[in-house]
Structure 1
């Protein structure tokens, strides 16, 4: 069942309010999207602007398990004519990137279609802090042009920005970029309290091969009789694809042969098939440790990740919050969040 704040925001969006929702990772922002899609009425659709394909896939599967007709559209799926027809007529939720929402294909096939526009219940911008983090200069500049979607939707369709990290300057940028202030707005800050998480920051000792600093979380004794489930589910975050691969190689060397495939990389240079295999493996427990870049820094909703460990200093506190937020997402579970930093940071 939804918490009171979730039910309240769903109600306001259905009343036609724009919205800004700030809530810690793991508190259930996706339930807002799903609630609006489910309750908006027959024939309605909610668009969810999403930064990563992995996040799109994860959220679509999550919604489908609840009986919601959810789909994602991206460069891997846009040639499917049936998918476009489904979006135009029956889909209740559509996950897409800013680039897809502002693409010529989407404009010609859907935005110009009055039937599709009449189906719109709301437009959600998930992980809305990306407008601040990513929308500047040459890296995904269309994040800063999302206000142009109002020209297609009209001012009657609510826009809702959702994020776990929103400093004052980010809030001001969201307000401007999403053209808030011209219609009623409902904002809510649930806070970032996660009492089931333990936070620890310490010096990175093995700078030449950082993953060695995390070996102490593995079982003290590992033999041919060690079970896969004896290794805690972990997300290790590194700055580069090369560092991820080196960590995977190191971990596989210290594990017995039957456990080596329980360690897997995740980065933007991998194929979508490989990424999907990684998330599914971590979800079903066949994979126990994922060594990732920021490509896995948002939206992983696997409930039983025990450790989220960041190697070296990330770009900002919002990145720390997003990565640490992958641990302990089930409210009755415990998670350990570790930041390993250079000695000069102390």
Structure 2
């Protein structure tokens, strides 16, 4: 936006909009410098964006808008089948044809780049490729050799006396049920001296978790009271890059 506005950013989630019915109007009237929104918030038939913002050529939001960023742009195709409003990203490009667009992803293949360009209707875009190497993260792969979750015992060192003895670890799994089951299993592996704080030390982070619990997890990672987070791949808000501190973190996928 072309001028400094006191409030920095807002996330237009269903929960936030329900809590504050005026939030959409406030956001699109330019009260925030950065507005995060899902395709559903923008394109539902009765959305404020379609009813009020798009038809008005002189709307304050349009005048202050300097760019639209499509984060995780591979989702335009990958999620389009079960969240059809993602397929309307190209429509957004047409509706805001005079606004610069930027599409971002850490996992795009050459084919994915072509699909993202087509899905978002990007016209002759400049393609910038950068390394996604995170030097505060350690990744390694190991075959599964033991039954159940026994191979994950290595995440909790032997003879620990404090939570700080457990390296901070993000463990990515395929389902919410698996995330909860592994978190509970790992908690039982903690020594008795730490079990009173087991729910803070080891946490599950999935789409089924409410915003309060997610905040507890992210705060715990940052203040280092949380040592292991078991999360689903879809919950990319807990990706390692979101927590840039000097200590190393381990990242696993199972």
State the distance in 2 between where 1:266 and 1:197 align: 19
**1:328/1:229 CA distance change after superposition, 3 Å:** farther
Flag the 1:280–1:144 CA change in 2: closer, same or farther, 3 A: same
Matches of 2:134 and 2:215 in 1, distance apart? 28
Of the candidates 225, 237, 258, which is equivalent to residue 196 of structure 2?
258
- Structure-2 separation of matches of 1:195 and 1:282: 17
What corresponds to 2:162 in structure 1? 227
Return 263-272 or 166-175, whichever deviates more.
263-272
Q: Indicate the residue corresponding to 1:291 in structure 2.
A: 230
* Residue 214 (structure 1) aligned to one of 152, 155, 164: 152
Q: How far 1:331 sits from its partner (Å)?
A: 7.7
Distance (Å, rounded) in 2 between the aligned partners of 1:283 and 1:339: 21
* 1:1-346 correspondence to structure 2 within 5 Å: 40-42=1-3, 69-79=8-18, 80-87=20-27, 88-103=29-44, 104-105=46-47, 106-113=49-56, 114-135=59-80, 137=81, 139-153=82-96, 155-181=97-123, 185-194=125-134, 197-207=137-147, 209-210=148-149, 212-222=150-160, 226-255=161-190, 256=192, 257-261=195-199, 262-296=201-235, 298-300=236-238, 326=240, 330=244, 332-339=246-253
Count of residues paired in the alignment? 244
Maintained 8 Å contact 2:136/2:248: yes
Q: Distance in 2 between matches of 1:327 and 1:260?
A: 25
Deviation at 1:196, TM superposition (A): 5.2
- What TM-score, normalized by structure 2, do the two folds share? 0.84
d(CA) in 2 for partners of 1:278 and 1:331?
15
Higher RCO, 1 or 2 (CA under 8 Å, sep at least 6)? 1
Deviation for aligned residue 1:160: 0.7
Runs (5+) with no aligned partner, structure 1? 1-39, 45-66, 302-325, 341-346
How far the C-alpha of 1:279 sits from its partner, in A, is 2.2
User: How far, CA to CA, are the matches of 1:282 and 1:336 in structure 2?
Assistant: 12
TM-score where L is the length of structure 1: 0.63
Structure 2, unpaired ranges of 5+ = none
